[in-house]
Amino acid sequence: MSAAYERLLAKLKRAHHLCTVTGLLGWDEQVNLPPDSADQRAEQMALLAELHHAAAGDPEIGALLAELEAQKCHPIGDTLSGADDVRVVVREARKDYDRVVKLPADFVSGKARLASAAYHAWAEAKAKNDFAAFAPFLEKHLALAKQEAGYLGRGDRPYDYAIDKHDPGMDAATITALFAELKTGLVPLLRAIAASPVRAKENIFKGFPIEAQREFLREVTERLGFNYRRGRIDVSLHPFCEGSGADIRMTTRFDADNPLDSLFSSIHETGHGLYEQGLPLAAQGTPLGQNAGMGVHESQSRLWENQVARSRAFWTFFEPRFREKFPEQLAAVSPQELYLAVNEVAPTLIRVDSDEVHYNLHIILRFEIERRLFSGELAVADLPAAWNALSKELLGLTPTSDKVGVLQDVHWSGGAFGYFPSYCLGNMMAAQLWFTVRARFPDLDAEFVRGDFSRLLGWLRTEIHEQGRRYEMRELVRRVTGEELTPKYLLRYLQERYAPLYLQ
């Protein structure tokens, strides 16, 4: 290994360590921070953002990259794998470096300071159902997002830049086409289910003790493969996963009358955690130890949450334990009633409470809203009305308040525009992976019935996790499944999962 490459890796890992500290402070802000300490945390986050920006934009990184590029990225010998690894690191590090050095330090620290303040403003606005109080923060975030796109030479297409930050290689036109095809296939299925007399039994979940819920979801997530010696799960207003392979922080939330909420949100975040724990630990801080984008990330969380955890095979194994933990609460609930409740299909205003058939419409709604915001067609002040109208059009429901409408999601408080499409792209990829792995291992259901999820996790480790940022999402999908990313497998999966329940 050349001295230049060793020095580059050291520089990249130093910047990465600063980034992980920022992530931990962000996790702490949503889990532990005293309510009157928000102003200090905003300054801490701004300072760390400034330090990370300086480390990631260190001129020596640029010089080292130029030196390695001049060597055609073969500084460690002739072995194909080694040379290829170096090419990936140099290629992706160049992208990161060029983006960082184009952003002024005061812009980066100011954006971090705004994100911290905006999170607390959003939490309070949501609690008080007061969109007007949050609107100024959102306007500032939108202005900064457009300004950032301008710094990177994408001022003419700022929303494409926002999308590409989360899902490299993606743009609004590509997503629009994929979503249109998905929507066309979804509508007939949803109409058929809506016309079906079959309904999940209501009010069967009452009085599920929080501590028992906590114990059960811990058992489930450990069985799926999450390593709690390198991670933990806590409680926050909005479930999320933060951290890198060596230290993963997940959160969930609990409701005594809705135990499936904490369970499935925990499984979802465990999918994220498993991906991060599966990235090559020795390569942490370099592109080979980083995820391939949020669409790929969501494919992992959604696959475990939906294809796996809503399956009969999964519940064949876990239902006895679930009943053991909650014998009185489930005494009058039959196995079929429980399984139908797990796979209930009914429109809801809240994205994170949505069934997986309607869920994609929630994402299409947010994509359309963001697209209009960035084009200037929609002003921040007009967001509640636009949101409510589109909710009525897509979901057939009009929010009764902004709390369950435009204020429901945390993402915009952090300026995370372009993130929402990742959820739906992840659903598509998850379904495509699902049919691929089931063709490879036809006996997966039998393994799930025994509580063995190791073969699936091992396959994902090899095909997805261990690849790091070697491939962008669409190329990764092509390599693993042999096809372009397409909605057809998601539509097939939804038909096969829900038609037997509702349309027979």
Give the residue numbers annotated as catalytic, written as ranges: 269
Query: What distance in Å separates the CA atoms of residue 159 and residue 119, rounded to the nearest whole number?
Result: 22
Query: What distance in Å separates the CA atoms of residue 432 and residue 493, rounded to the nearest whole number?
Result: 9
Query: What distance in Å separates the CA atoms of residue 381 and residue 190, rounded to the nearest whole number?
Result: 32
Write the single-letter amino acid at 37.
S
Cα dihedral 461, 360, 489, 447, rounded to 10, equals 50
The answer to whether 268 and 310 are in contact (CB under 8 A) is no
* DSSP class per residue in 408-432: S-SGGGGT-TT-HHHHHHHHHHHHH
The answer to whether 56 and 15 are in contact (CB under 8 A) is yes
Residues in the chain: 504
Rg (CA), the chain: 23
Query: What distance in Å separates the CA atoms of residue 299 and residue 291, rounded to the nearest whole number?
Result: 12
Q: How remote is the C-alpha of 402 from its chain's centroid?
A: 23
The CA-based angle 62-64-70, given to 5 degrees, is 105
What is the token pair recorded at 267? 């499984």
Residue 44 CB partners (closer than 8 Å, separation 6+): 25
What is the token pair recorded at 303? 């696959």
473: number of Cβ within 10 Å: 24
Query: What distance in Å separates the CA atoms of residue 274 and residue 297, rounded to the nearest whole number?
Result: 10
What is the token pair recorded at 281? 């630990």
The answer to whether 190 and 358 are in contact (CB under 8 A) is yes
362: number of Cβ within 10 Å: 25
Q: Dihedral sign for Cα 486, 489, 492, 493, please.
A: negative
Q: How remote is the C-alpha of 76 from its chain's centroid?
A: 35
**DSSP 8-state assignment for residue 250:** E
The answer to whether 186 and 359 are in contact (CB under 8 A) is no
